[in-house]
Amino acid sequence: MGKIILGSSSPRRADILKKLNLDFEIIPSSYVEPHDQTVFSYDYVENLAYNKALYVAKDLSYPALVIGADTIVVIDNKILGKPHDKQDAYNMLKMLSGKTHFVVTGVAVVNSENLKYKIKSTTTYVTFENLTDEQIHYYIENFKPFDKAGSYGIQELPDGYVKKVEGAIDNVIGLPSETLTELLNMDYT
């Protein structure tokens, strides 16, 4: 197989690929995500990942495996997207405080030559400590979580915010490396 393309402009996803020592290029996907879904389903997150990869793969004129990924934060079966503003971020973090939620990343790999694809999701459970209003405001002001689902990036949360993580932490960051490695090693002919 030819090149590996990351169909995302996420620096966090690129960092995970670098840690896997993969030689890759970045071509951000032009796919526009619908933001009308509020109830969680695996099909939804997997379709987002697939469409992100497909939009890059179908425009390539050379052989490549294109990676698409989408990460969502879910509590009480409700999807928490990226916050619109500080109040929205506060509301989300308040909702997550003291509770267990789960993070799902759908990963799709599409072969640009024949558009054959594989998709897999990974789920990780995250339990937050009981956060004070001061902790929430501090995090929002200092870490500006407006580009992150659920209003947080687990890799940047200060000590005392997360009680436990069950599953792959790189999934919460945005790309589960074990799942990605498995998909890249599959046959796309």
- 35 Cβ partners below 8 Å, 6+ apart? 81
Distance CA 125, CA 17 (A): 22
Give the relative orientation of helices 86-96 and 133-143 as an angle to the nearest 10 degrees: 130
Question: Amino acid identity of 125?
Answer: Y
3-state secondary structure of 112: coil
Kindly tell me the burial class for residue 118, based on how many C-beta atoms sit within 10 Å of its own C-beta (0-12, 13-18, 19 or more). middle
- Tell the residue number behind the tokens 């004070």, with chain if given: 132
Distance CA 2, CA 20 (A): 17
Tokens at 40, concatenated: 């969680």
Distance CA 106, CA 121 (A): 4
Active site residue ranges: 70
Tokens at 120, concatenated: 């897999």
